[in-house]
Amino acid sequence: MLTLVSEHRIYGCHKLKDQGGKCTQWHGHQYRVILTLQAPYKDLDYRNMIMDTYDIEAIFNEFIGVDHLNLNEFMDSENPTMEEMSKFFYDGLKDKIECLVSVGVYETPETGVTYTPME
């Protein structure tokens, strides 16, 4: 089994209605979004790749759509947490990236969440 990791950066703002602290006010982050793809070696494409990283980047950028996101609007959520973002991004990308196995979202260099669907 081979694993490909593709990291992307997005800029976004949000506020968390139910957080109860300072995050209930509008604030922003530079998010790291980490897509993890897996495929058996025997299933590599004609280029000997799981998937071309340029194709992954194009699909991700098309999904995001803009340079700076209002995550509350983009996700239609009052509480767009990292947890919710990771699942939202996974659900939005899975049909376009068939070998996607998980999506990680980091709000800071030290703090992140990874969504992996249960089989």
Residue 1: which of 46, 37, 38 has the closest Cα?
A: 38
The answer to whether 4 touches 37, Cβ cutoff 8 Å, is yes
Q: Which residues pair with 11 in a beta bridge?
A: 30, 68
Binding residue per annotation — 8?
no
Q: pLDDT tens across 22-61, in order? A: 889 999 999 999 999 999 999 898 999 999 999 999 999 9
> For residue 119, is pLDDT > 80?
no
Average pLDDT value for the chain: 93
Q: pLDDT tens across 59-74, in order? A: 999 999 888 999 999 9
- Active-site choice (7, 57, 62, 68): 68
* Ranges of each domain in the chain: 2-115
- In the annotation, is 13 catalytic? no
- Active-site choice (8, 13, 23, 99): 23
- Its CATH class, for the domain covering 2-115, is alpha beta
